[in-house]
Structure 1
Amino acid sequence: MPAAARLRRRLALAPAAALLAGCAATPAAPSPTTGTATGAGRLVVAYEAARTPEDRTARAFLRAHRVLEDAAAYADARIALPRDVPLRAASCEAPNPYWDEAAGRITYCYGLVPEARRLFARAGTDGTGGTPARRPAAAVDEDVVGLSNGILFHELGHALVDLYDLPVTGREEDAVDQLAVLLLASGDERHAGYAISTIDAWGALWKAAEGGDPGVAAYSDVHSLDGQRFFNWACWLYGSDPGRFADAVDAEGNPDGVLPRDRAALCPAEFRRIESSWRTLLAPHLKQP
Structure 2
Amino acid sequence: MGLIIRQANIYGAQAAGLMLVGLTLLSISLDAVAVTDRYLAVKSAEDKQARELIKPISKQMLALFDEQLPMKQALTVIYGAEDGPLFDPDTSQILIPYEFVTEVYTRFHHDNYQETGVSPEDATRDALMHTLSHEYGHAYIYANQVIVLGKEEDAVDTLATLMLINSFDNGADIALSAADLFSLEDEDIKEFDDDHFWDEHSLDAQRYFSTLCLIYGSDPEKYAKVISKAQLEIERDSYCEEEYFRQTENWDRLKERYSVLPSKVK
TM class by shorter chain equals 0.7 to 0.9
Inter-CA distance 146–45: structure 2 relative to 1 (3 Å threshold): same
How much does 1:287 deviate?
6.6
Amino acid of the structure 1 residue aligned with 2:106: R
Quick one: which amino acid aligns to residue 233 of structure 1?
Answer: T
Picking from 159, 171, 178, the partner of 2:151 is 171
User: What is the root-mean-square deviation of aligned Cα atoms in Å?
Assistant: 3.1
Q: How does 1:33-44 map to 2 (within 5 A)?
A: 35-36=25-26, 38=28, 39-44=31-36
From 262, 271, 280, the equivalent of 2:253 is 280
Please show how residues 68-217 of structure 1 align to structure 2 within 5 Å. 68-93=58-83, 96-124=84-112, 139-209=119-189, 212-217=190-195
Q: Structure 2 counterpart of 1:224, which letter?
A: S
Partner of 2:231: 260
**Partner secondary structure for residue 42 of structure 2:** coil
CA distance, structure 1, for counterparts of residue 216 and residue 228 of structure 2: 12
Specify the code of the residue in structure 2 equivalent to 1:145. Answer: R
| Closer/same/farther in 2, CA of residues 215 and 88 from structure 1, 3 Å limit | same
TM-score, scaled relative to structure 2: 0.82
Q: Counterparts of 2:187 and 2:179 in 1: how far apart (Å)?
A: 12
TM-score w.r.t. structure 1 length?
A: 0.76
- Give the alignment partner of residue 224 of structure 2, picking from 241, 246, 253: 246
Counterpart residue number, 2:50 = 58
Q: 1:174 to 1:235 in 2, by over 3 A?
A: same
Per-residue deviation, 1:42: 1.9
Partner of 1:4: 3
Which residue of 2 is the match for residue 18 of structure 1?
Answer: none
Using the TM superposition, give the Cα deviation of residue 60 of structure 1 relative to its aligned residue in structure 2, in angstroms: 3.3
For residue 167 of structure 1, give the secondary structure of its aligned residue in structure 2. Answer: coil
* Cα 1:286/1:191, change in 2 over 3 Å: farther
Output the CA distance in 1 between the equivalents of 2:44 and 2:81. Answer: 8
Partners of 2:111 and 2:256 in 1: CA distance:
39
Task: State the secondary structure of the residue aligned to 1:77.
Answer: helix
Query: Partners in 1 of 2:124 and 2:100 — Cα distance?
Result: 9
Do 1:51 and 1:91's aligned partners in 2 also have CA atoms closer than 8 Å?
no
Worse overlay, 182-191 or 171-180: 182-191
**Deviation per CA, 1:136-183, whole angstroms, max 9, x where unpaired?**
9x7000000000000100001101110111111111000000100110
The 2-side partners of 1:109 and 1:243 are apart by 38
Q: Deviations over 1:95-137 (max 9, x none)?
A: x31100110111221111110111111223796xxxxxxx99x
Q: Which is richer in helix?
A: 2
Output the amino acid matched with 2:207: R
Find the aligned partners of 1:280 and 1:116 in 2 and give their Cα distance. 33
CA separation of 1:60/1:10 partners in 2, compared to 1, >3 Å: closer, same or farther? closer
8 Å CA contact 1:10, 1:248 repeated in 2: no
Q: Is the 8 A contact 2:108 2:120 kept in 1?
A: yes
Task: Output the CA distance in 2 between the equivalents of 1:286 and 1:195.
Answer: 27
Secondary structure at the counterpart of residue 147 of structure 2: coil
> What percent of counterpart residues are identical?
25
Residues paired across the two proteins, number: 251
